[in-house]
Amino acid sequence: MDLKFKKAVSPQDFDTVAALADEIWHQHYGTFLAKDHIDYMVATFQSAAAVAEQCANGAEYYIAVVDGEPVGYIGLEFPPKECFLSKLYLRKSMRGRGIGSAMFDLAEDLARKHGESSIMLHVNKYNDGSIAVYKKRGFVKKCDLVTDIGRGYCMDDYILVKKLDRV
């Protein structure tokens, strides 16, 4: 397996992220969120235009590519002292192959290069599988957060944090 990470910088890259988001979010969140809620979140936060705007405002997206095929992506923001891992998504068919671990490793390496001392993320309270993965990676619960995202939808999350060791 040939795994590479491609930084998303072009309109084609943003289209790739948006297509992956549409596929993976519906596949993953469909067990505990309504389809219209997922549709709204993808359109609002993960359309090609939304991803391009986030990148223009300092976010960085990286596409995981296996044997030439895009299979997932991560999104990061770098405010002082605490990296925000806003996205980490991988196709279900690619899980269990070490790709997710490599994505976490990349996020941690990038956070360290930006001088961050920790990584923070939001995870839906009903996303038990992802919560278990994050805990296994050393994340701990900091607090609860409910965010109104418009049109009557909310995100009901935990905020998890991982302190980074200096390398």
31's tokens: 């067990």
Domain boundaries, position 83: 3-163
Alpha-carbon torsion angle 112, 90, 43, 6, nearest 10: 50
What is the domain-level CATH number for residue 93? 3.40.630.30
Mean pLDDT of 119-145: 96
Q: The whole model's pTM is what?
A: 0.95
Alpha helices in the chain (DSSP H): 11-29, 35-45, 48-56, 99-113, 128-136
Which residues make Cβ contacts (< 8 Å) with residue 156, sequence separation at least 6? 124, 125, 126, 144, 146
What is the distance between the alpha carbons of residues 87 and 84, in angstroms, rounded to a whole number? 9
Q: How many domains does the chain have?
A: 1
Burial environment of residue 16 by CB neighbours within 10 A (0 to 12, 13 to 18, 19 or more):
buried
Give the confidence band of 167 by pLDDT, cuts at 50, 70, 90.
Answer: low
Q: What is the pLDDT of residue 67?
A: 97
Tokens of 90: 């991988």
Burial class of residue 82, CB neighbours in 10 A (0-12, 13-18, 19+): middle
Spatial separation of the C-alpha atoms in residues 53 and 44, rounded to whole Å: 11
The model's pLDDT over 30-62, given as tens digits with 9 standing for 90+, comes to 988 999 999 999 999 999 999 999 999 999 999
Residue 166: pLDDT above 80? no
